Chain A
Amino acid sequence: MTSAGTTTAERLSVRGVDLEVVRRGSGPPLLLLHGPQNVDPNAPFLDLLGRHASILAPSHPGFGHSPRPPDFDTVYDLVHLYLDVLDGLAPAKVTLVGLSFGGWLAAEVAVACADRLDRLVLVDALGIKVSDRETPDILDVFNTAPAEVQRRSWHDPARCAPDVNAMTDEQIVVHARNWESLCLYGWHPYMYNPQLRRWLRRIAVPTLVLWGASDDIVSPAYGRAYSDAIPGSRFALIEQAGHYPEVEQPQATAQRIAAFLGR
C-alpha cells in the first residue's frame, strides 16, 4: 500500500505502546499487518475487504505516525506487540493477514500462537530463507538503485510506482520514517529469520499464501516454498500484480481473501 498521509487515524494503546490504527468494515475481526509502507486509509483494498471483515490495521512502531519506544527495534519486539494485540481482541479468534514484511510478522505470530487465529493469509510475505547461501531470495532494496527497486516491485511501474515529487511534505516524511524503520528491523539477517522455516509446521490454522505473479522482489517460487512449509496451506497467484497485489489488483486480492474466509 502506498504511504498514508493522514494524521486523522485512530490511536490504540497496547500495554503502553501507542499505535496509529486504521479501522474499516464490519464482521469478524481481521488484523492486517502492513509491509514496507503503512496502510493508506484511502486504499480501495480496505473498503473491498471491509465488506467481509472488521479490519484493524495498525502502523508498526516507527512507521506511519506510530512512535517507536526506546529499545523497541527488533522483529522479536514486533511479534510480541502483536501477540499483545491478539490478547486484546480475545476471546474472538482473529483472521491474520500479513503483507510483505508484515507477512513475516504474521507468520511468526502464527507460529507462536495459532490457537488465537481462525485463518492466516500471507501476501508476498518475507521472513524465511529458501535458496542456497549464494542466492538471495529477497531483493536488497537498500543496496539497489531506487529505479531498479521500483521496476521490480510492480507489474506496471508506470501506473503504480510512487512519485515522490507528487507527494506532500507530510507524505514524504512518513515515507522516510517507514524506510528507516524497515531498515532498522530488517537489515540483518536481511528480511528473514533463519529459524522460522523449520517452525512453520506449527501453523495449524487454514492458511492462504497469495503472491503477485510478477513479483520480482521475492519470487512466486519462494511463495510456493513458503506455502509448502505450512501444513495444508493453499497457494494462489494474483495475475498482473507485483510485490503489492493489494495495491495493483485490490479487487482480485480482496476477492481471493474473502473466498478463503468463506464469505
Chain B
Amino acid sequence: MDAWFHNENTYPFVPQGVLDRADSVRASLPNRYCDPKIAADLFEETLDEFLLCDDVGMNVVAIEHHAGINSLFGANPLILGILARQTRKARILSLGTLISLRPDPVRIAEEYATADVISRGRLEIGFVKSGGSEMASNNANPVTNIARYWEAIDLIKKALTQQDGPFSWEGKHFTHRHVNIWPRPWQAPHPRMWAATGDPETASEVGRRGMVNVLVLRGAEGTRRAWSAYRSARAEAGLPPVGSDRFGYAALLYVGDTHEEGVRIGEKLLWFLNTSLKSAPQYSKFLPGSVPPAFAPQVYRTAPTPAPAGVDNGSARPKGDAPVPSATQNVGTLIGITAEQAMARGILFAGSPDTVYEQIMKFRADVGGFDHLIMVGRSGFLTHAEAEKGIKLFAKEVLPRLQEVPSVAALES
C-alpha cells in the first residue's frame, strides 16, 4: 500500500457569526472575508507540508474546489506546476482540474502534459465530477455535467496520446478542430488516470476504463458498493478482473504520540465536515440534475407526504432503490458528525501509530482491499505544526507497515 497526503487548504478564519448568517459558505460568501495575506501564509504552509511529504516518502494530492472556505485551491494546474518543480520524488496526483467546468479540455491536456514533463513523469491525473456550488461559480450547466465529464476525459486522453499531428474533435459538448499539444507527456502512453466517485453508475464506467477508483469519505458500505459496481461492470463487459491497485480511499487521518493525542488533534479535521460544507439548497438539492426527477418527492419535501382522501400519493413513487447520494449530498449527511461516529464509519482514522494502523487495516479488510491510502491530514484549525507532526509520525511509524501490506491480486470470478 502507498500513502498520499492531501490538504484542501481550507480557510477557517471567517468569523463564526458571518458563517452562521450566510446561507452558504461556498459560492456566494463574499471574498472580502478572504484576507490575501492570510491566504498567502496558508499556501506557504500547505506547500511546505507537501515538500515535507516528499522528504519522508509520501506522495501528494492537489485538489480543486471553487469559491469557498473549504479550499483555496481554485486553480489546480498552478499548484501542480509548483509541486512538479519543487518536489523531487513524490508522485503528484491531481484530483483534479474540474474538467466539466472548463470550456476547453485541450488546454487541460496541455497543463497536464506540462506538469508531467516538468516532474519527469511523476504526475497522476485524477478526475472529479464537481459539486453544485462549483457549477454555479463556473457557469457550468449541471444537467449535462456528466456527459461533459466523460467527453472531456475522452478528448484529454486523445490529446495526451495522439502523436501524429493535428486531429479534429467535433463532439457533443466540445469542438476543437486542430489538436496537437506540445510537449507531449513524459509517461507513455499517458499518466495513470484516477476518478473520484462513489456513485455506482459512474464507478461502473471507471471500471470499464480501468481507471483507479478513489472513494472520498464514503465509509465502508458506500465504498464496497462502488467497487462492487466497478468489478461487475468489468466482468459484464468481458474485461479481465483487476487487483487492489485500482482502488484508493481518502479519509481524515491524524497520528499522535498517544491514542488520546491523535484523537484530540484529529478531531479538528472534522471542521471540514461540520463547518465548511454548509451549502444553500439552490446549490444542492434543488440544483437541476442533482436528483433524478423520480426521486424528487423524497428529496424536495420538508414535511410528510399529504394524503387527501381518494388520492393515492404512492402511485408515482418509483420502484427500486433510492439513488446513491452525490458526493455533495454524501458529505452533507456528515455535517454534525462526532469523532467517535466518524471513526466508527471509517471517515476518520486517528490515534497512536498502532491504533491508526489497526483502524486502517480493519477498514481495508472491510472493503476488500485497496493499495492507495489518501491521508487528509490538515483542515480547519488544525495547525501547520500539528500537521507536520502528524505527517512525520505517520511516515515514520505507520507507512513502513502499510508498505509491507501486499496487493490483493486480481481474482478470476
Contact = CB atoms under 8 A, between A and B. Distances in A.
Contacts of A175: 296, 300
Contacts, number: 77
A146 to B, nearest CB: 6
Interface in B58-96: none
B282 A176 contact: no
A187 interface: yes
A135 interface: no
B289 A180 contact: yes
Given A169-B305, A169-B314, A169-B315, A184 B143 contact: yes
Interface string B7-50: 00000000000000001000100000000000000000000000
Nearest to A141: B282
Contacts of B288: 142, 179-180, 182-184
Contacts of B303: 165
B282 A173 contact: no
Contact of A170 (B143, B144, B289, B315): B315
A182 B287 CA distance: 12
A176 B291 contact: yes
A88 B109 CA distance: 49
A188 B297 contact: no
Contacts of A172: 296-297, 300-301
Interface string B276-302: 000011110011110101101100111
A145 B279 CA distance: 11
B313 interface: yes
Most buried by A among B144, B287, B297, B311: B297
Nearest to B312: A168
Nearest to A174: B293
B237 interface: no
B316 interface: yes
B301 A168 contact: no
B375 interface: no
Contacts of B287: 142
B340 to A, nearest CB: 34
A184 B141 CA distance: 7
- CB-based closest 7 A-B pairs: A176-B296, A183-B288, A170-B316, A176-B293, A187-B141, A169-B297, A165-B303
Interface of A: 71, 73, 142-146, 164-166, 168-170, 172-177, 179-180, 182-184, 187-188
